[in-house]
Amino acid sequence: MDRLWSPWRAQHVARWAQTPDEGAASEARPTLFERLAADHRDEDNLIVWRGTHVFVLMNLYPYTNGHLMIVPYRPVAEYEALDDAEQVELARTLARCLRWLRHALQPDGFNTGMNLGSAAGAGIPNHLHLHVVPRWNGDTNFMPVVGATKVIPEGLRDTYGKIQAVIAADEDR
pLDDT the model gives residue 156:
87
- Strand runs (DSSP E) across 31-140, as ranges? 47-50, 54-58, 68-72, 109-113, 130-135
CB atoms within 10 A of CB 130: 21
For 117-151, write each residue's pLDDT tens digit: 888 888 888 999 999 999 998 776 554 555 555 66
User: What is residue 61's three-state secondary structure?
Assistant: coil
Dihedral sign from CA coordinates of 44, 118, 6, 129: negative
Please list the alpha-helical segments (H only) found in 16-83.
32-39
What is the rounded average pLDDT of the residues 87-101?
Answer: 98
Average pLDDT over residues 74-96: 97
Is 129 annotated as catalytic?
Answer: yes
Select which of 12, 40, 53, 129 is catalytic: 129
**Whole-number pLDDT of residue 20:** 44
CA dist., res. 156 & res. 154, Å (int)? 7
Q: Of 126, 57, 138, 146, whose CA–CA distance to 97 is shortest?
A: 57
Name the more confident of 69 and 147: 69
pLDDT band (50, 70, 90) for residue 26: very low
% of the chain with per-residue pLDDT over 70: 75
Q: How far apart are the first and last CA of the chain?
A: 48
d(CA 75, CA 31): 7
pLDDT at position 173 is 56
The whole-number average pLDDT for the span 150-158 is 76
| Angle, helices 156-171/84-105, rounded to nearest 10 degrees | 110
Higher pLDDT, residue 71 or 117: 71
Task: In whole angstroms, give the CA distance from residue 125 to residue 120.
Answer: 9
pLDDT tens track for 41-61? 999 999 999 999 999 999 998
62 pLDDT exceeds 80? yes
CA distance 58 to 48: 7
14 or 63, which is more confident = 63
What percent of the chain is modeled with pLDDT above 90?
58
pLDDT average, residue stretch 20-44? 78
Which alpha helices (H) appear in 41-123, and where do they start and end? 84-105
Run of H or E including 158: helix 156-171
